[in-house]
Each structure stands twice: as C-alpha cells, then as structure tokens.
A and B are shown apart, each in its own frame.
Chain A
C-alpha cells in the first residue's frame, strides 16, 4: 500500500513540475550567453523604478525609455545643459511663437521612415494628451509639416526655451503605429538604438539592438532590463554578477561596492528644506532666517550622504555647470529672530532612505537653535497632497532641478511663484514673480541663465528654501562593462557605445 501511495505522489509531482516552473519568471537570470551571430553580448541592467503607466512616454516612464536608449526627441541635452541635435539636425526661430526644425534621415523601429508628417502627428498627440506631459505644463503647441524635411512648431505664447523643452523624454517621437490606443505604445515604434521587444509587467523588459539606427549600430546585441525596487537587492544583484549595471545604488550600500564598480555622477537633484511661508511658524521671515542660520549644511554631505554629495550652494548644484560662475548673493534677507521654543513640524518621505536621516539631523540642529521640532515621515504618495495644502511647517525633499524641460527657469516658475503647481513652500512674493517672469521671456541662452540666477537670488532672499545638499548618483557598473553614459540629467544610461 505504501508503494502505491508513493507512486501516486511521484506521478503528481511529475505532473506538477511543469505547472510550477511556469510560476518562475523567464529570462533575466540566464543572460550570460556570450554573443550571438550579429556580434556583441547582451547587457543586463537593474533599474530602480518599474514601469508605472504601461510605458507611456507621457508620464513617469518616459525617463526609463530614454535611459534604455529606446526613445529620442527632436533635440537632446548636451553636457552643458544646452539643446543639441537628435532627430532634428538644426532649428531656427522664425518669430516669437514659431520655430522651424529640420529633420535628419532616420527610421522608426517598425521600418517606417521618420517623415515630417509622422513627427508633427507625434507632437500633436503629446500636446493633446491628458494629463499633459510635464514638459508641456502650461504650454499649448501646434506642429505642422513644412516641405519634405521640416516641421514647424507654433506656440500660443512666445516660448524662447522651446528647443530645450523638446529635449524632454516625454516628447519622444514615435511611429504613427504607436498611437492606436489611448496610450502610445513604445514597443517597436521608437527611433533609438535599442528596440523594446517584450515587457514583463513590473518585473523585466527585453530589448534588442535596432540595426538601422541613424547614429550607427549599437555595440551591445541587446539589453535585459530588470526592475528591482529595493536598493539593497539591486546592489546585491550587481555584487553577485546577476547584472552588469545597477542604477541608483543607495548611499547605505555604496560602501559595499569596490572603487572600480561604483561610479559617482553629480546630478541636478537638490535636497532642500522648504519652509511654509503661508501659514504656521515660518510665515515669519525672521524665524525662517533663524532656521537658515541654525543649519550647518556640511554635515549632510559629509556624514549623512557619506561624501556622495556636495554641500548646498543654491537651488542649482555643481551639475548645472554654468550656475556657480553666474551666482549672485541673495538679496533682501530678513534679520533672524529668536525662536524661543517655537514648535514646528518637518515632513519628509522615506522612498529615498536618506531623507528621514536628513530630517533627524535637521531636527537636532534646529532644536539647538531654540526650536521645538516634530517629524512626520510617510510614503511619498501619502504625503504630497498634505504638503501642498500647507499642513506642515517645513518639508524636506529631493528635486531634480532640470528634469522635465532642461530649462533652468521652469523649476523656479513651478516651485516658487504664486501660480506654481508644485509650490511646496507656498511662496507668493512679487519680487520673485517679477524676476522669474523676466527670465521666462529671454531667448538668448546666456541672458536667460543670468536672469535665472538673479531669480534664484530673489528666492533665496525670502528664505523660503534652504538648499541642503546636491546629490551625486551612484551607478554600479561591472568591471567588464564599458561605455556606460553617466548623465547628470539622468536621461541616458545605455548608448550605442555601451558594451560588455
């Protein structure tokens, strides 16, 4: 009788085995196969953020697509933060509201040619998208074909920063096929050196080299991307050789990587303390000044970020290469008054593990100066609306100062003006508004930058924001990998020259 039972169990086991193996994720782990017929081996990349919106280029997934070399726009950001040619080879400003872009000869990954019609339709879809891509916030644009290789872009209001705006990953150009459904589908319809072939939910994605890329064939045969949300797990994946590149290694794990595998890049991301200027204790400019004077920013860069950051200098950090030379001293600062035990609440989020630590150090520094400090730590999505509604006295957050548009003025407009959509300091100051408005109207790059720095000085003058650190991002790169693009704007990671 025993043997009957065990035989039955064996049979059940055999029947179950294929069923169970179906439950494991496919691919990814076995991407070690060296090379294929076309040459070059596949890259294994661990990314921090899984696709949140089915890889729609209009939302948060846009950066993911451009980091993997899938999508491109008409223009791209160069190392100095200026617009550089991408799908457009050149552009001219015809009048206040109109720009003309000349396209290069290129092909979509589905075999179609990149025509002015296709580009105009792609831009029109982006302009009509709901919700609008962040780069088009507050902008209405129209795009139309002009001749055989030109596209004319017209905006409602004068937009001197349009070429910079078009560098945004959210304004990627996709083939007409991509726009069938509600959301554009970038699988096999983009123009970059790598083509998405398979997306496995929030777990993994497979990319193959696009052989007809206008910039030449990529050296890697393809990419196996994995989305690993946990920072420690991502680092472990690199350390155990499961991946070749791991993005956004957390500071707490950096020490576990060898010097050759950890690459630091200064980023445009600034961690700052934003003070609620509209209600609560920090409505008083004197107390804001007292808080600013109480804070010793060197501690954060040295100790909390373990040297993987630079002390806060202004809204723009060292990754914005031109900012330091043009910076002027903040104007119109108030005299500090004695806090005398005033109670304040500092809110922050734990999605970036360093932020709660920053807040706790801030707490101690402010309490030494005479404040009484309470902390509120939540997950970001549970915090944002309360912070924007002014429920806290102060907010500690990390903000990429150039991400959406590549234009330095945009962040000032959205974060520090009366009408700003992401104004966490709830600042409404007419000097700041005037300075920002002036900068927004300038087309000349150099003048625009100078005006932006003048506006920065005006913002800092209100003490609504205390820049704490300018973060550097740590990318873990396996020793046999070459050509990883360490981009301060965090828009690219893998390019045609990346190989293993």
Chain B
C-alpha cells in the first residue's frame, strides 16, 4: 500500500509536468490560428497543422529514447534518468506532453475558427476590445469541448506511462501496476487500479465541473451558437502528395524480402542496396515497412472505424457512457489486455478487441461534449420550435455537426492505435516476430536507437506520414467568409496557455 501511494505521488507529479508541456504545445499549435483569428484574417489560414499531426503520431517511447540519448547522454544538459529533483522531470514530461499536447492542440485548432466566426467576436472587435482578450474568450469558448479529453488524458498518463517510466527509471504507478499484473501480485494490483479509478472519477468530475463553470449558464438556457458550420473544404493537393509518397515507400518495399536474415549485415546505414538501412538481424528496413503496411493499416483502420462508431453511439448516451468511459480509461492498458485475453482467449482477434475496448473512450467523450453544446445551440431550439421530431433533429442537425470533428479526431489517433496493438505483444497477444508489423518494427529496433537511428526513424516517419495523410485528407476547417474589419487593434500576444483557466 505505501508503495502504491508513493508511486501515485510520483505519477501525479509527472502527469502535472506533462500537462504543462502539453498546454504549451497546444498553445503553440493554435498560436497561428489565434493570431489570424484576432486580426479576422482566418481566410488566410492554409495548411492543416502538419507539424502537429506529425508530433501527435510520434510514439512516446521513441521520443523518450531519443531525448534520453541526445539531451541526457550526449549533450549532458539534463539527467538522462532518475527521479531525484525537479530537473529530472523535464525530459519525461517532454516525452509525454509533446504528442499529447499536439493532439489536443489539433483538436482545439479545429474548433477555433468557428468560435472566431461567432457574432460576439465581431462585436468585441467592433467595440475595440483587445485582441488578447478576444483570443482568450475564443479559447474559453472552445475548451469545454475538449475538457473531457483533458480529463481522460490526466488519468491515461498517470497509469499508462509505462514505457516512459521504464526508459527514465521513474518509480511511477504505471510500472508498479504492470509489474504487479505480470507477477500476479493482487494486493498491489488492486490498490493501484483502485487509485486509478478514484483518480479517474475525480478528474472526470472536475472536467465536468469546469465545463459547467465555463459554459453552464449558456447550456442551461440553450443560448449557444453552434460551433459547427458547414465546411467548404476545397480540393487540396497535399493529401495526394502524402498518399503518393506513402504508396511509393510501400511499393518499393513490397518488391524486397522482409524476412531475409543476414546477420553479417546487421545495423548497416542506409545505402543504395538498403535505402532505409538494415535492422539488428540484417533485414532490409524498407522491405519490412512495405510488407508490414497492409496488415498494420487494415487492422488499425478497422479498429479506428469500430471505435468511431462505438464512440459516437455511446457518446449519444452520456449518462451511460461517462462513468463507463472514466472506468475503462482508468484501467491500465496492460490489464485491459489481460482481462480481454481472459474473456476471449488468446485468439487472433483478441489484441484487436483489447485495443478497440479502450479506443472508443476519447471519441465518446469528445462526442458527448460536443453534443451537449450542440443541443444548447440556438438553431436547435428553432428547429424544435418548427416541430422537428427527435429523430429528425439527430439525423439532420446533431450528427452532421458532431461526426466530422470526431472523425478527424479518430484519424489523428490512427497511429497510436497501431502502436497500442504492439504494446500487447509481450503478453503473447498480437503480432509475433518476425512479422514486419510497424509497431513491432519500432519496438524491436528501439534498443538500437543510438547506433542505428534509421531502423527506428524510418518506421516512425512512415507513421508520421500516415498521420499527415489522415489529417489533410479529412480537411481542416476553413470557415470565415467575413471581411477583416478596420477596427481590429494589434494583438500584444495571441498565445494563451490552454491550461490557464482549467
């Protein structure tokens, strides 16, 4: 028990630091939109946050390995491992916070243009209210839609940061529960899981409370304008370029042999013979990426699609799904895998089931948060007033407004679904070597990140490319059709940390 309490303290602190990093990252991701929004020049906003999509696709353990090796060992700026003081917090917090912050930032960035397009923003600008103030209000307007996800992120990071805890040797709760689960140490496992469930309940209630504080009166009075306007996304060339690039890599890889072990040629640097180098058994990395693509992508896409459907359906029933989501999210991923394996046996479908069993949670939370706002929108009241049935409302007003952002969210999470499948491998679930599944490629080459960076960076780059493709293909929201007004003052600084009011 004391061990669990201590581990919980460590994890909470790490989580808090990661949250700060995530807030900073999210702010950086949204900065441009905020600046343009304040100046009412959002029509100039092009591109859909490519950097953020790449960052969100980066696996935490890869980031952690690279940070520990480069910043910790080679540059020696910060301790590479340990847990003895504030300076030890920085690298793990960066590894956890950057991808998460990029994801949250992308979601926020997705909603901001609509907020700036609302009447109050124009009115505020016309009244000469400072740009900083307007930006702050726009963020405040959008954050409630994200709050449940921030709550989930808090619990997920506390219990699920196993890989990062291992790389930095941090005595956190994730590692403690994992060890307990593997060693079948029930008291510790129970205490750890209980702590996580309690934390999830607290984080969930806080998120709901904060949401009510921010937009409660408007929700009650059904006085919110809708954040979601029909989009006009013109045809873009970027997704085509990314798709062609991805396809080229896959096709070039497919004509090579992914299983030819040549231990004499291990860890070779990229060369004409091996364009992406070789791995620790001398296998061609390009070939492995190409052959792994089909399996990885179809499974990840299928799981994401299932999670999207389940997430939206459950999100429609917040009373049922909110407690369920909090609980499911609190269960450490490894434990979830063990539980599913216990129920479904260790068949071929088990890992997919185990990942799908948790993948719907953030999507459901997102759906119900958006739905709550959408239901309170003025035009819904008007449609109701015109005598629309509930089904009509759902089909023609609510779903069309909610599904697109949630679908984009699901696409953003596609790479992490692919990685989650691999994380179950050590239980004897999921793909087994020498299968060239992408997550497995990353995991098996991770120990060589310093000696043969290409063997890890190549699959990571392909995952990032996938993230980019997913984001650009879904099309960013580019809304305002209004002209910039002359009354806008120069903003002093448009960057507002997301966490400030949370």
Contacts and interface: CB of A to CB of B under 8 A. Distances in A.
A236 B73 contact: yes
A377 interface: yes
Given A203-B171, A239-B73, A361-B263, A377 B451 contact: no
A230 B84 contact: no
Interface in A229-276: 229-233, 236-237, 239-240, 242, 250, 252-253, 255-256
A359 B261 contact: no
Contact of B80 (A237, A374, A377): A237
A25 interface: yes
Residue among A29, A350, A353 with the highest chain B CB neighbour number at 10 A = A29
Contacts of A23: 6, 9-10, 12-13
A289 interface: no
A202 B82 CA distance: 13
Contact of B280 (A236, A252, A363, A379): A252
Nearest to B435: A375
Nearest to A239: B73
Contacts of B434: 360, 363, 375
B65 interface: yes
Contact of A52 (B80, B85, B183, B266): B183
B50 interface: no
B344 to A, nearest CB: 16
A468 B40 CA distance: 70
A30 B79 CA distance: 12
Contacts of B280: 252, 357
A395 to B, nearest CB: 14
Nearest to A364: B261
Contacts of B261: 360-361, 364
Nearest to A46: B169
A228 B447 contact: no
Contacts of A253: 447
B435 to A, nearest CB: 9
A426 to B, nearest CB: 20
B84 A232 contact: no
Interface string B146-186: 00000000000000000000111101000000010011100
B68 A233 contact: yes
A192 interface: no
Contact of B433 (A52, A360, A381): A360
Contacts of B447: 231-232, 250, 252-253, 353
Given A24-B84, A231-B447, A299-B263, A240 B79 contact: yes
Interface in A358-387: 359-361, 363-364, 374-379, 381-383
B85 A377 contact: no
B85 A29 contact: yes
Contact of B169 (A230, A250, A374, A377): A230
Nearest to A359: B433
A203 B3 CA distance: 10
A243 to B, nearest CB: 10
A478 interface: no
Given A232-B65, A356-B433, A357-B280, A304 B263 contact: yes
Contacts of B264: 303
Interface in A12-31: 20-30
Most-contacted residue by chain B among A27, A253, A303, A375 (CB, 10 A): A303
Contacts of B171: 25, 201-203
Contacts of B3: 201-202
Nearest to B338: A382
B79 A375 contact: no
Interface stretch (B289-297, B314-322, B398-406, B420-428): B420-428
Contacts of A239: 73, 80
B120 interface: no
B383 interface: no
A279 to B, nearest CB: 20
B242 interface: no
Nearest to A240: B80
Interface in A198-237: 201-203, 226, 228-233, 236-237
Interface in B431-459: 432-434, 444, 447-448, 450-451
Interface string A23-57: 11111111000000000000000000000100000
A350 B426 contact: yes
A230 B167 contact: yes
Nearest to B80: A236
B426 A379 contact: yes
Nearest to B6: A201
Contacts of B183: 52, 381
Interface string B469-484: 0000000000000000
A242 to B, nearest CB: 6
A232 B88 CA distance: 17
A24 B3 CA distance: 13
A47 to B, nearest CB: 12
B76 interface: yes
B83 A228 contact: no
B73 A357 contact: no
B72 interface: yes
Given A256-B450, A303-B263, A29 B82 contact: yes
Contacts of B195: none
B281 interface: yes
Interface string B68-102: 11001100100111111100100000000000000
Contacts of A24: 10, 83-85, 88
Contacts of B425: 377
Contacts of A250: 447
Contact of A28 (B84, B167, B433): B84
19 contacts: A28-B82, A29-B85, A201-B3, A228-B81, A229-B166, A233-B80, A233-B81, A236-B72, A240-B72, A242-B82, A252-B451, A302-B263, A356-B444, A357-B281, A376-B432, A377-B426, A378-B426, A381-B183, A382-B426
